[in-house]
Amino acid sequence: MRYACSLLLIVILPVVSSNVNAASCTGQFANPITDICWSCIFPIRIGGTTVTGLDQEDTANPGGFACACGNPPRAGIRVSFWEPFRRVDVVRAPFCMASLGGITIDPGFDAPVASRNRRDGMDQSSFYQVHWYVDPVMFYLQAVLDNACMENVGFDVAYLTELDPLWKDDELTRIINPEVYLFANLPARAACAADCVTASIGFPNNLFFWCAGCQGNLYPLNGNIQAHVGGVQASSLALYRMIAKLHRELLMWSATDENGMCGYYAKPVMDKTEYKYQMLYPIPQTKKIAGKCCQPLGRSTALWGAGREYPIAGEDFAYQIFRKRNCCQGAIDLRDMAD
């Protein structure tokens, strides 16, 4: 899916410099072979049977073996897997493209710079910019070709929060999340502890849709992190909010459960169990902990995030996102049967 700001990049991408604000912009191109946790695509299920799981975490799947869809009409079998489909930068310097090697785009205007502030000598808050990339890595590596269950598009820069006036302003952000007023209280915040527990032992709980697990509160849907514990925790929360924000703006669609069998569908309130993610930069998350090298949204960063933030070159972050995909893999075109 392409977003509106991709068109603007046609104008500003030629104005690129590798040394503009170089001291505060770091990154590298991820190696798609060695830097991606490929075991995260599992479990793979075909016709209701797990073909291979590699002891990876999964969510519930629709039952049954056969399926049918229209437009075009086809019959096939049910499949499910976790597709690596997006990449995210969480950076300090505006227009710093960490996933593109640490280059900085110079569009000719200023944008809010990342910050960290300490309040009353105790709590620390922060702000980050986020870049959203279309990254169907299995397609452009030609691992799978011409498969209707995957995005058959190329790599693209799709969304820059520097161009979004809502990303820095809490008041403007309330336009898309007016329900924030319901959860600005102690009981609602305390309930997020339960979401932290469920996310750390499995997947987050959609009942607590205002929570971001161990990362904190999901609201507001912007880059203002009210409780900054560390760079890995804060950047994971910014990633979490970006996914929720794009769902709310109908720029991100779901692809799971029975409704996703025949295509993508709109879901303004994100299903938190649909996503896993792994770090690509500054230290690729490929070493497994308890047999896994990626995690659901909201899981504690205490184990997998340890030592992954370090001064200067290790304060910008890039992540790979995996989305759960349930699909009707077409084997028979029903139009042929009608002829």
pLDDT tens-digit map of 170-228: 999 999 999 999 988 888 989 999 999 999 999 999 999 999 999 999 999 999 999 99
Q: Is the pLDDT of residue 317 over 50?
A: yes
- Residue-number span of the structural domain to which 238 is assigned: 5-33+89-132+161-322
Burial of 318 (0-12, 13-18, 19+ CB in 10 A): buried
Let me know if residue 154 belongs to a domain: no
Let me know if residue 203 belongs to a domain: yes
Tell me what percent of the residues of the chain surpass a pLDDT of 90: 71
Dig out the tokens for 223 from the structure. 């880059």
Burial of 310 (0-12, 13-18, 19+ CB in 10 A): exposed
Let me know if residue 283 belongs to a domain: yes
Q: What's the pLDDT score for residue 38?
A: 95
Q: Mean pLDDT of all residues in the chain?
A: 88
Q: What's the pLDDT score for residue 215?
A: 95
Domain count, the chain: 1
Higher pLDDT, 222 or 334: 222
Task: Kindly indicate the confidence band of residue 113, based on its pLDDT and cuts at 50, 70 and 90.
Answer: confident
Q: What's the pLDDT score for residue 145?
A: 52
Let me know if residue 330 belongs to a domain: no
Let me know if residue 262 belongs to a domain: yes
The 10s digit of each residue's pLDDT in 133-174 is 999 888 777 666 557 788 888 899 999 999 999 999 999 999
Q: What's the pLDDT score for residue 121?
A: 61
Segment 273-279 shows an average pLDDT of 98
Question: Around 257, how many Cα atoms within 13 Å sit in the side-chain half-sphere?
Answer: 10
Write b or e for each residue in 61-83: b if 16 or more Cβ atoms lie within 10 A of its Cβ, otherwise e: bbeeeebebeeeebebbbbbbbb
Let me know if residue 50 belongs to a domain: no
Q: What's the pLDDT score for residue 88?
A: 98
Q: Kindly report the pTM of this predicted structure.
A: 0.89
Q: Is the pLDDT of residue 81 over 70?
A: yes
Least-confidence region, from 47-56, 276-285, 290-299, 312-321: 47-56
Q: What's the pLDDT score for residue 45?
A: 94
Let me know if residue 287 belongs to a domain: yes
H helices of the chain, in order, are: 5-12, 137-140, 170-173, 186-201, 231-248, 334-338
Let me know if residue 109 belongs to a domain: yes
Burial of 314 (0-12, 13-18, 19+ CB in 10 A): middle
